[in-house]
Amino acid sequence: MCDQRSPPGLAGTSHTMRRRTRNLLGALVLAVVATGVSAATTLRDAAEGLVPMGAALNLGYLTSDATYNSTAAAQYSLLTAENECKWSATEPSQGVFTFDDCDALWHFAQANGMWFRGHNLCWGSYNPAWLEALTPDEKRDALVDHVATVAARYDANVLAWDVVNEAISDSATGADPALKNSTWYPDVPDFVDVAFQTAREACPTCKLFYNDYSIASSQGWSSDKSDAVYALVSDMLARGIPIDGVGFQLHIAVDYGLVDGVAANMARLAALGLEVHVTELDVACGSAPDHDCTWTDAIAEAQADLYGQLLEACLDQPACTNFETWGFTDKYSWLDAQDGSPQHPLPFDEDYVTKDAFDTMVGVLEAAQEAHRPAA
Ligand SMILES: *[C@@H]1O[C@H](CO)[C@@H](O)[C@H](O)[C@H]1NC(C)=O
Ligand SMILES: *[C@@H]1O[C@H](CO)[C@@H](O)[C@H](O)[C@H]1NC(C)=O
């Protein structure tokens, strides 16, 4: 019954991977689970058979912080490399590929029975300087070479790749899925098609995703950009460009009031035959423009409600096949480097103690398990 929620490919990946991992490393996996911070339920156990529970992980912290390492392994069933598989990490000089760090994350996933989600193959920023300096024709060749090489290396052992990240302009409208100026646009106007076609050739079994921010809700302030992404992927499908899903980053704040719009957007993408992944969820305490934050019990509860509502929206939609946060502990959040005051955006606090958001998500997962359980 529960497996109905997972498409065959995803479920197959899970079973194959876990069987292999447990045969080789069963004792290790059990030991890691047994020493996790929460002696009770973990997110991954609560979500077993429902949806992967994911977190973006950072190799430096996995290596240097034993509690980060053991908590990630115990709590999550999917990981994304925060930075280690991006272009500047994997091809720092043209034609010279360095996979050590990306491989290390991939091995951590294998050792702990986790799915691996690749991030990312093509993005318009944070690229190496050599790439920015190429002519348009050279850029197109470099794109094909990079996508083909990276996608082929990890092949089907990756659940999904973010093939293209953040291509759509923030001022796009639904009728005009405008691409933003970047490394790729306007130099390589069809770079999205090129990236997805190359990824499909290099890895026929990988799920290929378009990933972006401010595109989760088809209602409210982000509806124009969400509509533009809907138009982009509809057009790709109509032209036979391979794409399997859309990633909703969901970097949001506690005052985000658009969960109904997220559910509606998931539904219309599902109606196109696409999957949806929640890829980078974090719920900041402070809101734009100043992000000032006073962390209180009331804010913690509002944050927990939002985590719970979004997880429910995902569980209610069969096409939602990953639920993932960007990091997992308030000890390390990319937001704190951007904003003045600590944002407390994640389900574990800075001491790895579970927060209200964690408890609410476990409650939602347990209720979903109960609802899926066949009648006695
Ligand atoms: C995570 O911790 C395990 C157990 O201590 C260790 O063997 C492994 O090397 C660590 N992972 C990384 C990437 O450092
Ligand atoms: C984007 O690039 C085009 C062509 O290079 C240029 O005309 C336009 O002003 C740029 N737009 C922005 C917002 O920078």
| Identity of the residue numbered 269 | L
Ligand nearest to the Cα of 71, by number: 1
pLDDT at site 376 = 61
pLDDT at site 372 = 81
Ligand 2 contact, 189 CB (< 6 A): no
- Sequence-separated (6 or more) residues with CB below 8 Å from residue 5: 49, 50, 51, 315, 318, 321, 372
- Bridging pattern class, strands 160-165 and 207-212: parallel
CA of 158 to the centre of ligand 1 (A): 21
Report the alpha-carbon angle 312-246-328, nearest 5. 55
CA distances from 330 to 57, 66, 326 (A): 13, 16, 11
Report the distance separating Cα 207 and Cα 160, nearest Å: 4
* Residue nearest to ligand 1 atom 14, measured at CA: 63
Ligand 2 contact, 186 CB (< 6 A): yes
Residues with CB under 6 A from ligand 1: 59, 62-63, 69, 104, 108
User: pTM here?
Assistant: 0.89
Residues of the chain where predicted confidence (pLDDT) is lower than 70:
1-39, 339, 376
Handedness of CA 223, 228, 229, 231 (dihedral sign): positive
Longest CA pairwise span in the chain (Å):
66
pLDDT at site 29 = 39
Question: Cα torsion for 352, 6, 240, 249, to the nearest 10°?
Answer: -20
* Residue nearest to ligand 1 atom 5, measured at CA: 66
Ligand nearest to the Cα of 74, by number: 1
C-alpha closest to that of 119 among 28, 57, 176, 187: 57
**Index of the ligand 1 atom closest to the CA of residue 105:** 13
pLDDT at site 313 = 98
- What are the beta bridge partners of residue 276? 246, 320
CA distances from 128 to 142, 166, 168, 194, 321 (A): 12, 17, 21, 20, 32
pLDDT at site 191 = 98
CA distances from 144 to 117, 137, 195, 201, 324 (A): 20, 11, 7, 11, 29
Quick one: tokens of 138?
């050279």
CA distances from 77 to 33, 94, 117, 275, 290 (A): 12, 34, 11, 18, 35
